[in-house]
């Protein structure tokens, strides 16, 4: 699929969605939200086994398009309605995808762009990339799940500091704080992420989807509920062909051939 604001490519069981408004640093507008939603649906339909999210040009995503017709008017707008219509379903759509979602943050990630990158299951960033909770600079509150993810990833003090100041954080610092999985040299970013995604796509991806569900549910569960969830998910995994294949391969001393089922 190739549309105006999103590029979608699926090969070797790996889907790559590229945010594609480079002259606006891939800022979200309505078209991009709609095309992104359709692309995510397509990824599910095509049964991709890993998804990579990246940006075209020098940025990952500069957040909401501040020049968009509705936002630029300066009129009193219900921004909550915009979140309800576009950003919240996007966040939930990525979280509920039963496959690993990997961000390749190729450049600056600001506002909702930063938080979408942090909502991915694993976030890689180019050394020159920056993460900016830009909201406060325009009198707004972090959205797209930022207030949920930041304290969980880096603790309350650092989360509060980033959100209240809107200061940049570079990729190396982001890695050292645990905000992202890995900082990679700029020129190696896409190869590193694609190799990683292709590798994951050969792994027991149904189990990986269940791992994702368990990890994400943990934040809202007490121990007993989480143990019950682990029991339920392990039951599902244990009925899968990948479990049988994994054990058989181990016993036969040969590499496993997982199918994601
Ligand atoms: C942009 C943008 C942009 C349009 C760069 N929009 N054009 C908000 C409202 C409503 C509901 C839902 O939720 C949200 C969530 C949010 O995301 S709020 C936060 C919105 N984002 C920002 O406040 C970030 C604004 N951008 C920046 O601070 C800078 O552009 C960054 C730090 C990202 C990059 O700085 P530079 O590398 O110096 O690039 P630049 O500022 O020169 O931008 C390049 C071009 O991109 C420029 O256009 P031009 O025609 O002059 O070349 C910018 O106007 C355009 N651009 N961000 N969000």
Instruction: Render pLDDT for 117-127 as a digit per residue (tens, 0 to 9).
Output: 999 999 999 99
- 20 and 56 in a single domain? The answer is yes
Q: Is the CB of 94 under 6 A from ligand 1?
A: no
- 158 and 215 in a single domain? The answer is no
- pLDDT (mean) for 86-91: 98
| Number of domains forming the structure of the chain | 2
Does residue 60 form part of some domain? Answer: yes
Burial class for 72, CB neighbours closer than 10 Å (0-12, 13-18, 19+): exposed
- 24 and 71 in a single domain? The answer is yes
Q: Is the CB of 100 under 6 A from ligand 1?
A: no
Q: What is the pLDDT of residues 20-60, one digit of tens each?
A: 999 999 999 999 999 999 999 999 999 999 999 999 999 99
CA–CA gap between residue 179 and residue 247 (Å, rounded): 35
- 48 and 114 in a single domain? The answer is yes
Does residue 113 form part of some domain? Answer: yes
- 82 and 158 in a single domain? The answer is yes
CA–CA gap between residue 55 and residue 7 (Å, rounded): 10
Please say which residue of 156, 174, 200 terminates a domain. Answer: 200
Helix axis angle for 146-154 and 156-165, nearest 10°, is: 130
pLDDT at 1 exceeding the cut of 60: no
Instruction: Please give the biggest Cα pair distance in the chain.
Output: 68
Q: Is the CB of 143 under 6 A from ligand 1?
A: yes
């Amino acid at each position: 699929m190739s549309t105006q604001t999103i590029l979608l490519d699926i090969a070797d069981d790996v889907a790559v969605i590229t945010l594609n408004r480079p002259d606006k640093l891939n800022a979200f507008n309505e078209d991009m939200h709609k095309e992104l939603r359709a692309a995510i649906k397509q990824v599910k339909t095509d049964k991709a086994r890993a998804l990579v999210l990246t940006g075209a040009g020098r940025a990952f995503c500069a957040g909401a398009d501040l020049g968009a017709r509705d936002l630029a008017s300066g009129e009193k707008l219900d921004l909550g309605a915009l979140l309800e219509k576009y950003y919240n379903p996007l966040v939930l759509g990525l979280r509920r995808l039963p496959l690993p979602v990997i961000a390749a943050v190729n450049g600056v990630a600001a506002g909702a762009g930063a938080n979408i990158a942090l909502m991915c299951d694993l976030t890689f960033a180019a050394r020159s990339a920056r993460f900016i909770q830009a909201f406060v600079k325009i009198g707004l509150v972090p959205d797209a799940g930022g207030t949920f993810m930041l304290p969980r990833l880096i603790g309350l003090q650092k989360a509060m500091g980033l959100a209240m100041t809107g200061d940049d954080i570079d990729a190396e610092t982001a890695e050292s704080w645990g905000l992202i999985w890995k900082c990679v040299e700029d020129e190696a970013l896409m190869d590193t992420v694609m190799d990683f995604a292709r590798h994951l796509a050969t792994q027991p991806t149904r189990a990986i989807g269940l791992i994702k569900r368990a990890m994400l549910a943990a934040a809202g569960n007490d121990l007993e509920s989480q143990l019950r969830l682990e029991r339920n998910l392990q039951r599902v995994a244990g009925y899968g062909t990948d479990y049988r294949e994994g054990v058989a391969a181990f016993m036969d001393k040969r590499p496993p051939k997982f199918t994601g089922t």
